[in-house]
């Protein structure tokens, strides 16, 4: 996969799929023991960074937003590598980069610096999931606690079946 420019995603998810940037894995136990990389758990918490059209509709209905911190199933989705420029150096676009490895931190598979232009590049995991693979939304709970969203029961359709909906406080009552 080619190196993405600063602020560029490697791909746009389709349908019900979302892209999540995993949070860094736990590197130490609560008692201070270092967890080797090979023993660190597969990521299952992160931040939504993009969504397909059907996923955007489902996200709206469930109160989810791009940027939310979410949890997903332990073995859900596919993990890909997101190799991207994070800092553009002088003349980075025309430079024939000479990448040298830097120490990695947190979630990174690799960090690099160009000796010629000073650009910095990071390769890190990116998880491709179905929206239904999300188990919980930490950011949504914060919005509910802050009173920005209310979960409520409504009667929908000609049969007036009960359906639970997310009502955004800032929008008119009938616009969901």
Measured between alpha carbons, how far is 125 from 107 in angstroms, rounded to an integer? 7
Measured between alpha carbons, how far is 133 from 166 in angstroms, rounded to an integer? 19
| Secondary structure (DSSP) of 145-163 | HTTSEEEEEEEETTTTEEE
- Counting runs of H as helices and runs of E as strands, what totals does the chain give? 2, 10
The torsion angle over the Cα atoms of residues 142, 78, 110 and 103, rounded to 10 degrees, is 50
Band of the pLDDT at 60, cuts 50, 70, 90?
very high
- pLDDT higher than threshold 90 for residue 139: yes
What percent of the chain is predicted at pLDDT more than 90? 34
Number of Cα atoms under 13 Å in the Cβ half of residue 1 = 14
Average of per-residue pLDDT across 60-79:
92
3-state secondary structure of 140: helix
Q: What is the pLDDT of residue 152?
A: 83
- CATH level 2 (architecture), domain 17-136: Roll (2.30)
Can you give the pTM of this predicted structure? 0.77
According to DSSP, residue 8 is labeled -
Please report, for residues 49, 170, 176, the alpha-carbon distance to residue 164 in angstroms, rounded to integers and kept in the order given: 26, 18, 12
Band of the pLDDT at 74, cuts 50, 70, 90?
confident
Q: What is the pLDDT of residue 173?
A: 54
Average of per-residue pLDDT across 101-122:
83
What are the residue ranges spanned by the domains of the chain? 17-136, 146-176
């Amino acid at each position: 996969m080619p190196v993405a420019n600063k602020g560029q995603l490697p791909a746009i998810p389709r349908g019900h799929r979302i892209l999540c940037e995993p949070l860094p894995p736990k590197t130490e136990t609560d008692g201070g023991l270092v967890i080797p990389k090979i023993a660190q758990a597969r990521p299952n918490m992160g931040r939504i960074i993009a969504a397909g059209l059907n996923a955007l509709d489902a996200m709206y209905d469930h109160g989810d937003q791009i940027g939310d911190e979410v949890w997903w199933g332990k073995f859900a989705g596919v993990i890909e590598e997101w190799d991207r420029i994070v800092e553009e150096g002088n003349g980075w676009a025309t430079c024939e980069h000479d990448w040298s490895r830097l120490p990695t931190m947190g979630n990174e598979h690799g960090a690099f610096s160009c000796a010629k232009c000073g650009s910095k590049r990071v390769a890190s995991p990116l998880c491709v999931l179905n929206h239904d693979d999300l188990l919980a939304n930490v950011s949504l709970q914060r919005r509910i606690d802050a009173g920005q969203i209310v979960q409520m029961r409504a009667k929908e359709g000609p049969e007036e079946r009960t359906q639970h909906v997310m009502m955004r406080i800032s929008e008119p009552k009938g616009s969901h």
